[in-house]
Amino acid sequence: MGSVAAAVAATVAMWDEGSDDEMSDGALYVWGADEHGSDLEDDPPEDDDAVPPPPPAAAGPGPKSVQERVRDMWDQYMLDHKIKNAATDPSSRHFAPWAPVGVVLGLRVREPFQGKAGMKQRIRPERLNTDSVTELECFEKMFTSEMQDRVIERTNAKVDLIKQGAYPRPARAKVWPPKWTEKWEPLTKQRLMLFIAVHVARAVTGVHETYVWESGKLTSTPGISRILPRDSYTMIKSALGFQADQEAGGFQQLPKIGELMDLFRSRCETRYQPGMWLSLDEMMVRFTGTTKYKFTREHKPISEGLKLFALCCPTTGYCYTFRLEKRDGTSIESTVLALAERVRGMRHVIVMDNLFTSVRTFKALLNFHTYAVGTARVGRGLPKAFEVAKSDKKKSALQAAGIPDKGDFVYAQTIDPDMPLTAILWHDSGPALFLSSFHDGETGAVLRREAGKSGRTQVQAPKAASDYNAYMCGCDTADQKRAQGSVMAKTYKWYIALFHWLLDQCVTNACVLWACENRGFQEDGSLDQPRTRRFRLALAEQLVVKAGLDLHMLVNDPQVSTYRVRASTGSDMVAYEQTLAKLKPERLLDNDHYVDCHNLWKEHCVLRAKDPTHKMPRKWNCVLCWALTGKQFTTEFCCTRCNVTLHPGGCFKQYHLPEPNLQLTYAAGMLMNANKARQNGAAAGQE
């Protein structure tokens, strides 16, 4: 490929043939038209004393427009170098013929964005406007039943291999198989939900997992410790498995957890559509163990851990897609193109920093119908004069480049009509380089602090720089939301650290889905999202209820333990066999049972929303509590499968068991509290 100097010389020679008025500095127009929309060659300067020009000859062709001359120049350049198609010739990928600085080729035409920010699929399309989507429903759209079943299946299979001695022994293990395998109970969906609930609730309180089950100390958390015993939590954490060792498919052929990461990435891409702008940056997952995937970066908030590259929505912090840096020799350009392939054809604008920016990468992104903008480094194919000024970093170099004052900038455009790129040199606190396939030489503004002035003032800047500052924050926003109540815990296994990141990202993305469903976007395009702590706390409570535990008894009665209920059958209890005879046998037919508000209660809620004077009906009695005690214990919840009213905690769980433990029902707890109150009153009377 010939040198850039030959192309620049050809460009200058062709422009020297035209008039000086046609290429005045700073003239912005659209390919051969002035600011009024007419061709510049057809509008001579006005002069009252000038003699009208003679009419043009009929036979001769008219003067060529700027667009035609640029096209002829490019065709001649390609002919000189014997290149038929620069878009497919590998030798042309490293080269961008730049027009001289100050020569304005015109505003390039940009194709509009082909999508709309918001939900791709509604969570419950049939729901009423007065019904709100719960935090658990949004979480289950990220951490789906397929992912849960995979974790349960692989974990139980892993424990079976350990018991059989077929699983490789870790180097740090003193006893193998470990003793906890003798007490192992097969992992179920209920226990997995409780395990995740402990993680989320512990992260909300900020208590380290070591102190959760320590009683009698200020750091203890009785409510969380009753969700799951310490031994069960420790066993599940040690036994977690996501993929067999011989499997290496799915997400980047990643062992141990590749299939699960692939399922999660597909959910991220199918549930939510980000806006036109996307930010590309790296995410660090804290990990201090030993693995070939670990990176060490000094003077960073996370100095060592796993590195992920992600595309995130800058307005919401939603993580749309991601890739793990595996240290397998994959270039940065290949990583960028692999991520951009997931949004191909949508006309997104990807904002990135100088690690990813190059002329070669931006040219490939244009073939994906994707635009990009970002800061640039020296040696990435930008004009030589810009790179010299960037490397020099002296005021004399900026003055020589024509930008002596802060806020000034110059730019150059490529003469390739199929590769419209713009390189910008901006005088900020120092020289700053930008490369964009979406911007031209438009002027914008940024906020900067100046010496001797309070607050921040507006400083002139190229539009590319102002958009970069506004939309580069997507991955940082996602990291900030993920850090507010992260479930990350110390581990020696790199794939467990990646699983903790996956759980955090599920919660963060679910928060965006909840806000889209229940609140929607504001007029300015922003999304009114709930506080992260409040969302995580509500999610933990709903996970506990779904697992069949009574949240009221779990929190309010300090003497009640989920697995050690001390209630005894008293005179208020009826016979066990008589109680079971009153229950419907259909309760044991299927496992497809869900707790929800009673349909009639929903209808009255709608009427109450329309008419505040509407009288709400009394709640319905829990059928299990009624069969157990013959007393009325009202509730507004029901089983959607059996169509019977039940308390959402222990009553719902025990009702669907062949041999229910009636001591775990809501009525048993209330009667136990009443007996305690009577005993305390009697003891006080004796004193």
- For residue 621 the two structure tokens come to 């009695």
* 37 has a pLDDT exceeding 60: no
* 191 has a pLDDT exceeding 80: yes
Q: How would residue 420 be classed by pLDDT, with cut points 50, 70 and 90?
A: confident
Strand pairing report for 349-352 and 277-286: parallel
- Cα-based distances in Å from 148 to 264, 563, 629: 11, 24, 37
Q: How would residue 471 be classed by pLDDT, with cut points 50, 70 and 90?
A: very high
**Phi-psi region at 321: left, alpha or beta (left = phi > 0; alpha = psi -120 to 50):** beta
How far apart CA 605 and CA 130 sit, in angstroms, is 8
Q: Which residue has the tokens 């420790």?
A: 234
Q: Reading across the β-sheet that carries 637-639, which strands appear in turn?
A: 595-597, 637-639, 644-645
* 286 has a pLDDT exceeding 60: yes
- Cα-based distances in Å from 324 to 262, 268, 601, 634, 687: 11, 16, 48, 52, 69
Q: How would residue 393 be classed by pLDDT, with cut points 50, 70 and 90?
A: confident
- For residue 339 the two structure tokens come to 């991520």
Q: Which residue has the tokens 């699929």?
A: 121
CA nearest neighbour of 222 among 543, 553, 535, 669: 553
More confident of the two residues 254 and 636: 254
Would you say 111 and 369 are in contact if contact means Cβ atoms under 8 Å apart? yes
**pLDDT reported for residue 127:** 66
Q: How would residue 309 be classed by pLDDT, with cut points 50, 70 and 90?
A: very high
For the ranges 214-228, 404-418, 541-555, 672-686, the one whose mean pLDDT is highest: 404-418
For the ranges 28-32, 259-263, 608-612, the one whose mean pLDDT is highest: 259-263
Mean pLDDT of 57-76: 58
Spell out a b/e string for 321-344, using b for 16 or more CB atoms within 10 Å of the CB, else e.
bbbbbeeeeeeeeebbbebbeebe
**pLDDT reported for residue 269:** 94
The backbone torsions φ and ψ at residue 562, rounded to the nearest 5 degrees and listed phi first, read: -60, -35
Q: How would residue 426 be classed by pLDDT, with cut points 50, 70 and 90?
A: very high
How far apart CA 466 and CA 479 sit, in angstroms, is 22
Would you say 468 and 375 are in contact if contact means Cβ atoms under 8 Å apart? yes
* 408 has a pLDDT exceeding 60: yes
CA angle 193, 498, 469 (to 5 degrees): 110
Q: How would residue 556 be classed by pLDDT, with cut points 50, 70 and 90?
A: low
Strand pairing report for 294-296 and 272-273: unpaired
* 531 has a pLDDT exceeding 60: yes
**pLDDT reported for residue 25:** 35
SS3 label, residue 111? coil
How many other β-carbons are positioned within 10 Å of the β-carbon of residue 237?
A: 16
**pLDDT reported for residue 634:** 78
- For residue 578 the two structure tokens come to 């008589």
Strand pairing report for 371-375 and 349-352: parallel
Q: How would residue 70 be classed by pLDDT, with cut points 50, 70 and 90?
A: low
Q: Where are the alpha helices (DSSP H) in 82-144?
A: 135-142
How far apart CA 276 and CA 115 sit, in angstroms, is 8
Q: How would residue 320 be classed by pLDDT, with cut points 50, 70 and 90?
A: very high
Mean pLDDT of 211-222: 74
* 392 has a pLDDT exceeding 90: no
How far apart CA 390 and CA 376 sit, in angstroms, is 10
How far apart CA 47 and CA 525 sit, in angstroms, is 50
Q: How would residue 214 be classed by pLDDT, with cut points 50, 70 and 90?
A: confident
Taking only the tens place, the pLDDT of each residue in 220-271 is 777 888 888 888 999 999 999 998 877 766 788 888 899 999 999 999 999 9
* 67 has a pLDDT exceeding 90: no
What percent of the chain lies above the pLDDT cut of 90?
36
Would you say 294 and 168 are in contact if contact means Cβ atoms under 8 Å apart? no
- Residue 375: alpha-carbon gap to chain centroid: 23
More confident of the two residues 605 and 112: 112
How far apart CA 308 and CA 268 sit, in angstroms, is 15
Q: How would residue 291 be classed by pLDDT, with cut points 50, 70 and 90?
A: very high
**pLDDT reported for residue 65:** 59
* 418 has a pLDDT exceeding 80: no
How far apart CA 236 and CA 152 sit, in angstroms, is 10
- For residue 78 the two structure tokens come to 């390609």
What percent of the chain lies above the pLDDT cut of 70?
71
Stretch among 104-113, 251-260, 388-397 having the lowest mean pLDDT: 104-113
More confident of the two residues 144 and 661: 144
SS3 label, residue 291? coil
SS3 label, residue 101? coil
**pLDDT reported for residue 314:** 94
| Contacts of 33 by beta carbon, 8 Å cutoff, 6+ apart | 39, 40
How far apart CA 42 and CA 62 sit, in angstroms, is 10
Q: Which parts of 313-370 are beta strand (E)?
A: 319-324, 349-352
- Helix, strand, coil distribution of the chain in percent, nearest 5: 40, 15, 45
Q: Which residues pair with 424 in a beta bridge?
A: 411, 434
Would you say 362 and 372 are in contact if contact means Cβ atoms under 8 Å apart? yes
- Sign of dihedral through CA atoms 348, 349, 352, 356? positive
